[in-house]
Every structure is written in structure tokens, then in C-alpha cells.
Structure 1
Amino acid sequence: MKTASFLLPKDKVSFITSTSSMKEALEQLEQHYYTALPIVDENGKYVGTLSEGDLLWTMKNTPGLTFDNMDHIQVSNIEKHIRNESVSLHAHMEDMLALAADQNFVPVVDDDHLFVGIIRRKDIIEYYMRNITD
């Protein structure tokens, strides 16, 4: 089965741009109760994932950084500790299981590597649970 049928499209996904500030990222995580967000560049291409841990490590390792001045740090300047691998919109669900073991979500890109949405780990697990019990 193709991943497109499980796609949560970009317009329904919270994501940030690489030029967003650390403060904006923290606010997005808090607002949606997420632990990680996809990052897209100025051209709409998927470039990585920002996690809560990335923000915490940046706070810990940046002298003088506080909640009051974190709007001066761009997401692109934050060291990322996880790398969510993306898949093509044309990928099959069989390609997802290994990724879902290590990622909360799988970013999906089109042929030009433009970010089109995500597939949630929950949806991948449910797909396999239905197929195992059938």
C-alpha cells in the first residue's frame, strides 16, 4: 500500500522553517504538545527535525541564553541530535516499519524533495496491527 493514503498533509501539520527563532519553535512545541517538529527551508524542502532535547541542549550549552533572548537564535543554528529520515510520496508502507521504530513521525517529500506532510508512527503501527490480525 502506498504511503499517500496515510499522509497527514502539510497544511494539517505543525512545522517550522529553518529561519524560525528558537522561541518560535518552543512555542510551536508547547502549543501542539509535540516533542519534535519537521523543519523546512525557505524553498519548502524538508531539512531536518527539531526536538525538545535539541532546545534543552542549546539552553544548557549557550552561556547567557535565557527564555527572554532565545528569539535571537535561529533554528538553523541549533545542533540537531536526531535525524528523521524522509520518504518519497511514492514509497510503500513496507518501507515505514523500520523508520517508525526510531521516529515519532516519518516526513514525506515529493520528487523535488519538497515537504508534503508526515506519516505518524501511530498510523504505521495501526496499519500493521490490522494486517497481522487479518
Structure 2
Amino acid sequence: MISLQKGELLGTTLPELIIPAERVAHVQVRNNLEHALLVLTKTGYTAVPVLDPKYQLHGLISTTQIMDSILGLERIEFERLEEMVVEDVMNKIIPRLNVNDSVENGLELLVDHPFVCIENDEHVFEGILTRRSILERLNTQIQKQNKS
């Protein structure tokens, strides 16, 4: 049976677990969909945060959303990729936390989402909390516990 001591995983703060904004692939609200699709394809991610020039978080854009927006009745309308911008098709309802929120709040959101966006009190994007970062920390805790 796994026993987590207070001060281990649940005593960790979000800043200790997040991938910082500088290392997170993202697009800008006014980028065209061609650019967004290129970013998604090159990184291999299925979704990335959408930011404004002040690094404020506005939504998420995914490959599925882009493809849905260019599907015509009889063909894929690739020419629309250059005409449409990210904010036209992005998802504005996204999982997000404040940098001062608890890891437990992050765990709740990560049950249904592969990552959660983290922002500060001014709504500036700080980074993302991923399932991977939580699982890596949990694995480290379990390995320590098994050795003792």
C-alpha cells in the first residue's frame, strides 16, 4: 500500500512542478491557423496555450479544432489556414490554476486534462502543470519509500 507523508507530494508547491512559460510551446491570438498547425505539428503536441503579446492566457488551440475549422462539405479547405486566426477557433474554456493554488487542485484537474495552465495574479502565463510532472514526482516518492 502506498502511503504519502505530508510534506512529500502534497506538500510540494506548484512552482516546483511546473514547466516554465519560457519552455512551453505556444501561439499568439492573432497568429493565423497555418502557423498554429505548424507549431503543433513540429512539436508533436495536440494542443498548446494561446497567449497575447503581454503573455496573458486566452485559451488553447488544438489540431482537432484547426482541422474542424477547415473541413468543407466536399474537401478540406487548406486555403482557409492563412485567412483564419487562432482566436477565431481556440477553446476559451480551459483548465487553469493560479500559481499559488495547491497541488491537490492541480491533481483534480489533471484527472481530465493532460496539462493545466498556470497563471499569476495578473493573469500572466507562468507555465503548465503536466500529468508527467506529477507522475515523475510520485514515482520518486515511491522509490524512496521502497528503499527505506
TM category (shorter chain) comes to 0.7 to 0.9
Q: Secondary structure at the match of 1:91?
A: coil
> Contact 2:71/2:77 (CA < 8 Å) preserved in 1?
no
RMSD value over aligned CA atoms? 2.3
Which of residues 70, 86, 102 is equivalent to 1:92? 102
Q: Secondary structure at the match of 1:96?
A: helix
Structure 1 position 5 matched with structure 2 position 16 = yes
| Deviates most, 10-19 or 124-133 | 124-133
Unaligned runs of 5+ in 2: 1-11
What is the identity, as a one-letter code, of the residue corresponding to 1:29? L
Distance 1:20 1:29 in 2: 13
Q: For each residue in 1:39-97, what CA deviation from the matched residue of structure 2 results, as whole angstroms up to 9, or x when unmatched?
A: 112332111111111112111258886334411110011153x8331111112211111
What is the identity, as a one-letter code, of the residue corresponding to 2:100? H
Which of residues 107, 111, 114 is equivalent to 2:124? 114
Distance 1:96 1:126 in 2: 15
Q: Secondary structure at the match of 2:71?
A: helix
Identity of aligned residues (%): 22
Distance 1:39 1:65 in 2: 24
Distance 1:77 1:17 in 2: 12
Distance 1:47 1:59 in 2: 22
Shift in Å at residue 108 of structure 1?
Answer: 0.6
The corresponding residue for 2:54 is 43
Unaligned runs of 5+ in 1: none
> Contact 1:96/1:124 (CA < 8 Å) preserved in 2?
no
> Contact 1:37/1:51 (CA < 8 Å) preserved in 2?
yes
Structure 1 position 22 matched with structure 2 position 8 = no
What is the identity, as a one-letter code, of the residue corresponding to 2:84? I
Larger Rg: 2
Aligned residues: 133
